[in-house]
Chain A
């Protein structure tokens, strides 16, 4: 079988198991999506605050901003470290290692199929919010949408590869997830989930620009809303962090596999 045909066969196998898995746990997925309401909560506070205060955005712009954040978050959520940790701790990683495919591939495909299962819910929330705040409705330009989709894909790829590298720490420690928790803490405050970076003090903005966090959420959101943004810089920064994450993953993966004791198998 040619490599391309083999690849397609694996893709089909993982995608169909993914679809089966996520359609079985529809209720669970619904709840996971509902857990992503934080941008909508922040939207309420910012809408009200910007009605009277002096902020760079007006209530309508804040509403659009947080709706875009909600969509970007739904499309870029990564949970691989919890899955991977469970596989290492219970020893069920062993059968995955016997398959003629890197386990990372399976996880990527599952994340992507999960997005499909999530989409109807995310769109329903978007529709409800637009009904509640009709002033926020607008048609984004086609070019902006294309750029935003690329930005979201780059953000997802980078978040995934970094979290996967953290997951490799699970070969040595039972609490690799606490790494992700600390990372997520910084992510929440610097990525633009709680507020657009426009309202941040300049010092914080400058510091944040040197971290990958603003490019995970704020950057694709800016692209989608068609607001001024250094497009090239955003993609370059994401690419650099992706490369760093990938290198870390390769090193830890090789060492980790040797260390892996297949507990309980």
Chain B
């Protein structure tokens, strides 16, 4: 455990030092993050101009879902894109060899080696939106603490989906787009899942691309109406996907032929 923490400090220290070479990017990413959020709030507001409750959710409640979505975007910008996007390069150039030879868990190294601070504005603004909406709806501190549990589940679920997709690069080298597909499907997480028509849409966003568990569930828990069975199911899903991602990576490595080395 201590070794893990020491490694993380080294990994992230060097990544931040490297990224600080491009400090002006930070302003840029803060700007796009605010712009994106303003646009998203505006886009959400369009529904409420028609005098409806989007999927039965009040305005502040829907903002909470959007807030969690922004937080998860921040997580994927700081950790997932930075690391998992590079697996393609490692496979293409054969440098995955060096990773496999290191005396650390290869999946751990591939998933945590880099930290990109450019996702931090999203994390901050997303949390800010959630807290603002929470205060408006009068949620208690206990609810906030409890909501962190399904949120942790969401992060693990998101990570595992990404990692499983990134692992497929071992067979299909040019798969960078797969993550792009995942990103666009996850866009559905901006809305509470009940905002989608019952039937195919809701089925897909619950079981195929589980955005229902990624953003709707943490918001429900925060509002104090999370059902225990759903929370348990969400955590179970996260755990199952995580185990699956490890198993899949091991399986994929058997097909790794180490290009050009």
Contacts and interface: CB of A to CB of B under 8 A. Distances in A.
A55 interface: yes
Interface in B48-63: 49-52, 54-55
A242 B47 CA distance: 33
Contact of A195 (B32, B36, B43): B43
Interface residues on chain A, size class: 35 or more
B174 A194 contact: no
B256 interface: no
A25 B174 contact: yes
A34 interface: yes
Q: Please classify the interface of chain A as helix (H, G, I), strand (E, B), loop, or mixed, using the class held by over half of its residues.
A: helix
A116 interface: no
A35 to B, nearest CB: 4
Interface string B96-132: 0000000000000000000000000000000000000
A38 B183 CA distance: 10
Among A49, A54, A55, A189, which residue has the most Cβ atoms of chain B within 10 A? A49
Given A54-B51, A55-B50, A195-B46, A28 B184 contact: no
A51 B9 CA distance: 52
Contacts of B43: 189, 194-195
Nearest to A32: B177
Contacts of A41: 184-185, 187-188
Contacts of A34: 181, 184
Given A32-B180, A36-B184, A45 B191 contact: yes
Nearest to A173: B24
Interface stretch (A5-13, A143-151, A160-168, A180-188): A180-188
A201 interface: yes
Given A44-B196, A185-B35, A178 B201 contact: no
B188 to A, nearest CB: 5
Residue of A35, A38, A186, A195 with most chain B CB atoms under a 10 A cut-off:
A35
Contacts of A25: 174
B204 to A, nearest CB: 9
Interface in A18-46: 25, 27-28, 31-32, 34-38, 41, 44-45
Contact of B32 (A27, A50, A181): A181
Contact of B177 (A28, A195, A201): A28
Contacts of A185: 32, 35-36, 39
A181 B138 CA distance: 37
A189 B42 contact: yes
A83 to B, nearest CB: 14
Contact of B25 (A31, A175, A195): A175
Interface of A: 25, 27-28, 31-32, 34-38, 41, 44-45, 47-50, 52-55, 132, 175, 178, 181-182, 185-186, 188-189, 194-195, 199-201, 204
8 closest A-B pairs (Cβ-Cβ)? A53-B50, A53-B52, A31-B177, A189-B39, A44-B201, A35-B180, A44-B196, A55-B50
Given A35-B180, A175-B22, A204-B42, 10 more contacts: A34-B184, A35-B183, A37-B181, A37-B184, A44-B188, A45-B54, A45-B196, A54-B51, A182-B31, A189-B39
